[in-house]
Structure 1
Amino acid sequence: MARDRDPYRLSSPHVYVVRMVIFLVITLFVGLILYRPIITAFMSNPGLNGLIVCVGLIGVALTFRQVVRLYPEINWVNRYREGNAPERRQPVLLGPMASLLGGRAEETFLSAPALRSILDTIGTRLDEARDISRYLTGLLVFLGLLGTFWGLLQTVSSVGATIQNLDVGAGDAAVVFEDLKAGLEAPLSGMGTAFSSSLFGLTGSLILGFLDLQAGQAQNRFYTDLEDWLSTLTEIDAERAIATGGEAVATASPGLQQAIERLNRTLKEGGGASGSPPPNQALANLAEGIQGLVNHLRSEQKLMRDWADTQTQQNARIEKLLERLNAALEQDDSR
């Protein structure tokens, strides 16, 4: 509702945090239901499976941190927009923007290059924050595959050793069968390592991938809202630049004209009173240069006025064209 009242207010990533928490709760609930086979699979290779679980937990914590760290940034921007005093702690992601904006929101305006520079910097920082979680997702898949090939290697080597140690010529079938059972324990253990590591690795990558997806959506929402708000400052800046430029030219021309008149008057009076030769050539060149500058400023002022008149005429023509188009559409609807 707050965003409906204020379309440029940055929205909170609370909905994405709720989705992540619900997904983790469902995952834990399924894990509790299947805890016995999960524990059995985990104990087939506690070292490797424990490493996979630790990497997954670190990835989950970092993914939540990516979303939670958006809260102070959003609060800072909203307080700045409302004219309230921002918090003493400067934002981290919005550090360049905070140093560039500086004062109150109603006194700040941005040019288009400055806007693009700010957005590029923030986008780069958001992407860098997600690089670690993406790496951990790939690391989980790698550890799962590593356990798979490790278990298969153990299985193949154990089967080979069992076949070599099997003494068929002993004559006692019971003894041969017991040796075969003892020899197959190692291959079965290797298969357990292979399948359990794949199970934990792929499951962890699935969980971390979903959480990273939600974190990416939260960051994209934050980036889009920030871009929408900064675009309003850029539009105001363009209008102010045109108005300020016209006023500056209009103010500078009379001032320069008065300075030239005073300079010419002083030179004439000085030359007539002392009977000295004509003014110094350097002063004359200076006066001519200033006169040329005044003429240039006047021409620039005229160009700006002509451009403003042209824009007004074009807007009027576009408005008439839109009115005709609306009238034609209304006639078609009435038919």
Structure 2
Amino acid sequence: MLAAQRFLLFLLRPLITIFVLVMLIGIYFPSFLSVFMVNPWLNGVILNITLLGIGMLIFQMFCVYKEFKYLEKHHPQKLRIFPNPDLPFSFPILQWYQSGMNIDVQLPLAQCEKRLDQRLRFGQFLAGALVFSGLLGTLWGLSQSIIVMADMFQNVFTIEPGKGDFLMVIKDYLSGALSKMGLAFSSSLLGLGGSVLLHFFLMQLRTIQGQWYDQMVRWAQDSLNHKASLDLTRRVGLEETFAPDVMLSLLNKMLMSLDGFSVSHKAQLQRCQDLTECFLSFSTKVQDLSDLMKAQHHILNKWAQEQMSSRHALEVMGSKLEDLGFSGDEAMRQALTKIAVCCEFLAKHHGHDHVSS
């Protein structure tokens, strides 16, 4: 709680600054109003940008304070919840803690630092916009002053002697030029003043972020120390659990269990060996049967070749007998015709047997 109270003191400084600024504006309100009304449009834009930047930076300060209180309340010994997405700055380090702190702590810390820098960029942009608005008003007022002075030098020598006092005309032109210079200096004053004020609040926000980052580093270091102490306690407990006497009794129990397992499964092991021998014998017989079928196939091929040669010889003899029948008498032709028919029949019969085989 002391750290949270010290952190709250950093928040009081910008709040006290705002209070003092409001008091000064209230005391010198007529002068401030006269300066503001010189160029109400541009000065109104500058004032709105300043108020927007101050409000945004104060909101960022309270967001950092909220996360600071969360880390102060939840010590590493007590944190057992999932990281809260409503804490954008602390989310990487909380996720690292919930994941078991197995990676280097510098990685989540770098992510936290990057998120802090991103929250400063919009305030820096608004401060730059205020400087630009002040310079824009200055250039606008100076340009109008130059135009008025040019009109004065153009018309001062064309005044006729009876048209009025020469000095009064010069006074009118110079009062117009000075009013334009007031326009320039009023916008420049408000723009640069708002930029200085925003940079002051940015400096306070950086200081608060630095305090929060230091607290985050200490929190991460406490988390690592707590984890190391838990690991050491667990290791000591394991060493006490696995003492030599305890280990010896556990090994004896394991050996007895293995002996009982081998006795109960000895019959099944013998049955597996018998099945393996039967399978080897069956494969040997299948191999012998395959060799026998190969020998029978060779014999059948040889018998088919012999049948083909016999059929060819009978066909040749039949053709010769037909030729002989054409050269003899009728009785011999008839006898030879019958013999040829018989040869053809035998040849066809042998060919049919060959095909069937």
1:61 pairs, out of 52, 55, 69, with 55
How many angstroms apart in 2 are the aligned matches of 1:89 and 1:171? Answer: 84
- The answer on 1:160 being equivalent to 2:150 is yes
Q: Which residue identity is paired with 2:35?
A: A
User: Aligned runs of 1:142-181 on 2, under 5 Å?
Assistant: 142-168=132-158, 170-172=160-162, 174-181=164-171
**1:23: Cα distance to partner?**
1.2
Q: Which residue does the alignment assign to 1:139?
A: 129
User: Structure 1 residues 236 and 17, CA, compared in 2 at 3 Å: closer, same or farther?
Assistant: closer
Structure 1: which amino acid aligns with 2:207? Answer: Q
User: In terms of mean alpha carbon deviation, does 35-44 or 235-244 score higher?
Assistant: 235-244
User: Contact 1:109–1:236 (CA<8 Å) still a contact in 2?
Assistant: no
Alignment root-mean-square deviation, CA: 3.8
User: What amino acid is aligned across from residue 47 of structure 2 in structure 1?
Assistant: V
Deviations 1:205-250 (A, max 9, x none): 22222122111111110110111111122234456568878969x9
CA change 1:200–1:54 in 2 (3 A) is same
| Alignment partners' CA distance in 2, 1:234 and 1:126 | 23
Amino acid at match of 1:66: Q
Distance 2:102 2:83 in 1: 27
Tell me the equivalent position of 2:217: 227
Partner of 2:101: 110
Which of 17, 21, 40 matches 2:15? Answer: 21
* Unmatched tracts of structure 1, length 5 or more: 4-8, 103-107, 278-335
Shift of 1:83: 2.7
Contact 1:10 1:226 in 2 (8 A): no
Q: Deviation of residue 48 (structure 1)?
A: 0.8
Task: Say if 1:42 and 1:49, in contact at 8 Å, map to a contact too.
Answer: yes
Per-residue deviation at 1:179?
A: 3.2
User: Contact 2:93–2:220 at 8 Å: present in 1 too?
Assistant: no
Deviation of residue 186 (structure 1)?
3.0
Contact 1:144 1:201 in 2 (8 A): yes
**Which deviations, in whole Å up to 9, do the C-alpha atoms of 1:5-58 show, x marking residues without a partner?**
xxxx66663112211111112222222332222221111111111111111111
- The answer (yes or no) to whether the contact 1:137–1:205 under 8 Å persists in 2 is yes
Q: Is the 8 A contact 2:92 2:109 kept in 1?
A: no
Q: Which amino acid aligns with 2:87?
A: V
1:120 pairs with 2:110 = yes
Tell me the equivalent position of 1:200. 190
One-letter code aligned to 2:141: G
1:83 to 78, 96, 107: 78
SS in structure 2 at match of 1:91: coil
Deviation of the 1:140 alpha carbon: 1.3
Instruction: Work out whether residues 13 and 218 of structure 1, in 8 Å CA contact, stay in contact via their aligned partners in 2.
Output: yes
Q: Tell me if structure 1 keeps the 8 A contact 2:83–2:94.
A: no
1:309 aligned partner: none
Unaligned stretches of 5+ in structure 2? Answer: 277-357
Aligned partner (choices 41, 44, 47) of residue 47 of structure 1: 41
Task: Give the conservation status (yes or no) of the 8 Å contact 2:83–2:91.
Answer: no
Measured against aligned partners, the alpha-carbon deviations of 1:126-173 in whole angstroms (never above 9, x if no partner) come to 111111111111221121111111111111112112211224461247
TM-score (norm 1): 0.65
One-letter amino acid of the structure 2 residue matched with residue 130 of structure 1 = L
8 A contact 1:154–1:186 mirrored in 2? no
Q: Does 2:20 match 1:30?
A: no
- 2:183 maps to a residue whose letter is T
SS of the aligned residue for 1:73 comes to helix
Q: Does the 8 A contact of 1:11 with 1:225 survive in 2?
A: no
Structure with bigger gyration radius: 2
Looking at structure 2, the residues matched to 150 and 31 of structure 1 have their Cα atoms a distance apart, in angstroms, of: 26
| Pairing 1:256-335 to 2, within 5 Å after superposition | none
TM-score after normalising by structure 2: 0.61
Instruction: Provide the C-alpha distance between the structure 1 equivalents of 2:108 and 2:235, rounded to a whole number of angstroms.
Output: 25
- The reply on whether 1:96 has 2:123 as its aligned counterpart is no
Q: Distance in 1 between matches of 2:94 and 2:138?
A: 50
